[in-house]
């Protein structure tokens, strides 16, 4: 395949480039190299792809690339993703996560290219028990997740109105090397390395589902190649834990004293208690077994200690 991957210098996007190249496909990469997009993230493949420093809102430039490179799929990892930043100001989230997706949909409409939109489990909102399926109502509760849900509605609208074909992926929390330092797990590691307290919102009982980035990319590639069009797919290996449990895993791994390493801070506005999604649809695929969580966590810690 000829695949255009946006956000190719970001965390998950760069790992997905590795996955697509390993399957002997051709990749064109696009990234605007904001604070979360780093050339260093592309070190494993930069000489193996055609890279363009472009904002996804630059519709005409992307359309020319899609036509010139005979692109079959645009896989959109480009996004503003940090919830705290969206609470402070959501302008860039609306621009990138909604208008940027509209730009890519216009490219697809004009070129007969397909779009895979990378979304998040946060579009469902919080759930106290059970897990969300792909058919459940979207109920985003912060500006970030609202922008991602809006993008999904736009994708569906372009399919119905303009016959643009798509796949939507809703992923649980990814972790692994290359993740931007502002996110929770890199923050835990950085604070411990500096001998500082780890800030934990509220009482630390909020629950998240953690998925190793290489596992995520393996599943996303299977969805891209093997699943039916114009559908949404949850991506998870169902590895839920509280924020405090995650912190304890890292303190144990880094030989830090848990009780001396944590400070509880005022909870953020609209903090969702628990995200949980089903994975019944992807279990029909021949996907790899989950990687060992503690081994992947150790690999992640080593990456940040060596950075």
Which of 55, 121, 209, 215 is catalytic? The answer is: 121
Q: Do 291 and 215 touch, CB atoms closer than 8 A? A: yes
Which of 144, 158, 221, 275 is catalytic? The answer is: 144
CA dist 78 and 93 (Å) reads 11
Which of 122, 152, 215, 272 is catalytic? The answer is: 122
122 is catalytic: yes
144 is catalytic: yes
Question: In which element (H, E) is residue 5 found?
Answer: strand 2-6
CA dist 29 and 48 (Å) reads 10
CA dist 134 and 277 (Å) reads 8
Residue 7 tokens read as: 């956000």
Residue 279 tokens read as: 């994975």
Contacts of 278 (CB under 8 A, 6+ apart): 131, 132, 133, 134, 234, 236
Catalytic residue set: 121-122, 144
């Amino acid at each position: 395949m000829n695949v255009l991957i946006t956000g190719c210098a970001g965390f998950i996007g760069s790992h997905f480039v590795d996955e697509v190249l390993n399957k002997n496909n051709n990749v064109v990469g696009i990234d605007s190299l904001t604070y979360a997009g780093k050339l260093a993230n592309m070190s494993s493949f930069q000489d193996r792809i055609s890279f363009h420093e472009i904002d996804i809102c630059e519709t005409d430039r992307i359309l020319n690339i899609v036509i010139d490179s005979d692109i079959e799929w645009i896989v959109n990892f480009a996004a503003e993703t940090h919830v705290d930043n969206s609470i402070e100001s959501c302008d860039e989230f609306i621009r990138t996560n909604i208008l940027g997706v509209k730009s890519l949909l216009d490219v697809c409409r004009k070129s007969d290219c397909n779009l895979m939109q990378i979304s998040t489990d946060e579009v469902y909102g919080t759930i106290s028990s059970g897990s969300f399926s792909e058919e459940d109502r979207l109920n985003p509760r912060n500006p970030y997740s609202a922008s991602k849900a809006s993008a999904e509605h736009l994708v569906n609208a372009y399919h119905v109105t303009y016959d643009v074909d798509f796949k939507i992926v809703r992923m649980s929390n990814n972790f692994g090397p290359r993740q931007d330092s502002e996110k929770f797990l890199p923050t835990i590691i950085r604070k411990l390395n500096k001998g500082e307290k780890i800030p934990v919102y509220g009482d630390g009982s909020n629950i998240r589902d953690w998925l190793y980035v290489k596992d995520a990319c393996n599943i996303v590639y299977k969805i891209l190649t093997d699943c039916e069009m114009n559908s949404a797919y949850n991506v998870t290996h169902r590895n839920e834990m509280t924020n405090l449990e995650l912190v304890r895993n890292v303190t144990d791994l880094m030989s830090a004293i848990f009780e001396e390493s944590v400070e509880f801070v005022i909870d953020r506005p609209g903090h969702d208690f628990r995200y949980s999604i089903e994975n019944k649809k992807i279990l029909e695929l021949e996907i790899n077994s989950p990687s060992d969580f503690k081994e992947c966590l150790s690999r992640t810690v080593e990456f940040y200690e060596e950075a």
